[in-house]
Amino acid sequence: MANPLLEVRHISKGFDGTGVLEDVSLTVHEGEVLVVVGPSGCGKSTLLRCINGLERIDSGEILLRGKPITGEKRDLVAVRQKVGMVFQSYDLFPHMDVMGNLLLGPTKALRRPKAEVEAEAMAMLKRVGLEEKAHALPRTLSGGQKQRVALVRAMLMKPEMLLLDEITAALDPEMVREVLNVVLDLAKEGMTMAIVTHEMRFAEAVADRVIFLEGGVIVEEGAPAQFFHHPKTERARQFLNTFVYEAAKKQSENSADA
C-alpha cells in the first residue's frame, strides 16, 4: 500500500484535566475514506479538530505526507489549505451571497484570479444542483443547500484531504440525502476524507475503513462489511444495536402516523 497521506501518532488531548483522546493512532491513505463512529462525547469531533489544527494536542504528533503539522513550528494557514474541514453549522458569512462566500478563500488565501475561481465555482454549483443560487444570501437557503455550498467552498481550496464533522446532524431526512449524495460522488472521484457521522447506512456505503471510538480510545477498527455486520467487540455490537432499535422505533412511529 502507498505511504499514508495522514498519520496520527499516539495523540492525547484533554480539557480542564479531563482526557478526551487517549493515545490515539491511525493512518489515512490517499483516496481512502475513513469513517469515525461512536457515542456522543467519545472524542470524534475533537479528533478532527486536532487534525485541522483547531485544537492543540497535548502529546503525540500528526503528519501530512510524512511532515509534522503539529508542534510549535506548525503553519496553521498551510495546514487548513491542505486539510479542509466542513462543520454541521455551515459557517457561511451571512452578509455575502453564495458566490461571495465561495470566492473569499481561493482569491484571498490562495491568491487565485477571481474570474478563474468564479468559473470553477459556477461549475461546481451546477454539479450540486445550486447554479441558480449563486447570488442568493445564505438566509434564503435550506439547510441542505447551505451544507452543499459549504462543501463546494471547501473543495475550491483544493485540499489534499477533507474532514467532515457531522455535516448532516442538523438536517431533516430529505436534506440529508442531498448532502450525502455529494459526499458519495466525492468518494467515487477519489477524494481522501475522514468523516464523523451518526448516519450508519451512509457510513457503510461510503467508508473504506471504519473506526469505532469510545472514551477517547479506538475500540475497534475494520472494513465496513466486517464492522457493521460482524463486529469483533461486544461494545461495538451494543452501539450498533442501538441504531437498529432506533430505526425500528422510527419506522413504527411513521406507520402509526400514516
Phi then psi for residue 37, to 5 deg, are: -125, 165
- Unique residue bearing C-alpha cell 435550506: 142
| Model pLDDT for residues 84-116, shown as the tens digit of each residue | 999 888 889 999 999 999 999 999 988 999 999
State the amino acid at position 136 in one-letter form.
Answer: A
Torsion of CA 31, 67, 196, 132, to 10 degrees: -60
**Percent helix, percent strand, percent coil in the chain, to nearest 5:** 45, 25, 30
Chain segment 40-52, per-residue pLDDT in tens: 999 999 999 999 9
pLDDT in tens, 127-136: 999 999 999 9
pLDDT at 252: 46
What is the full DSSP assignment across 13-51?
EEETTEEEEEEEEEEEETT-EEEEE-STTSSHHHHHHHH
Q: What is the DSSP letter of 76?
A: H
pTM recorded for the entire structure: 0.90
Query: Alpha-carbon distance 161 to 158, whole Å?
Result: 9
- Residue 20: the pLDDT is 95
Closest alpha carbon to 96 in 88, 107, 80: 107
pLDDT tens sequence across 164-215: 999 988 888 888 888 999 999 999 999 999 999 999 989 999 999 999 999 9
Q: What is the mean pLDDT of the chain?
A: 90
The answer to whether 128 and 140 have CB atoms below 8 angstroms apart is no
Q: Would you say residue 118 has pLDDT above 50?
A: yes
For the chain, give the number of residues.
258
SS3 9: strand
| Cell triple for 97 | 451571497
Reported as a pLDDT band with limits 50, 70 and 90, residue 255 is very low
Q: For residue 206, count CB atoms less than 10 angstroms from its CB and return exposed for 0-12, middle for 13-18, buried for 19 or more.
A: buried
Question: How far is Cα 111 from Cα 138, in angstroms, rounded to an integer?
Answer: 24
Do residues 154 and 162 touch, judged by C-beta distance below 8 A?
yes
Phi and psi of 109, rounded to 5°?
-80, -40
Give percent of the chain above pLDDT 70.
Answer: 92
242 band by pLDDT with thresholds 50, 70 and 90? confident
Secondary-structure class of domain 4-257 per CATH: alpha beta
- Which band of pLDDT confidence, cut at 50, 70 and 90, is reported for residue 256? very low
**Torsion sign (Cα): 216, 219, 222, 226:** negative
DSSP 167-229: TTTTS-HHHHHHHHHHHHHHHHTT--EEEE-S-HHHHHHH-SEEEEEETTEEEEEE-HHHHHH
Query: Does pLDDT of 26 surpass 70?
Result: yes
Task: Quote the Cα angle for 171-172-173, to 5°.
Answer: 120
Q: What SS3 class is residue 209?
A: strand
3-state secondary structure of 10: strand
- 228 within 8 A of 220, measured Cβ to Cβ: no
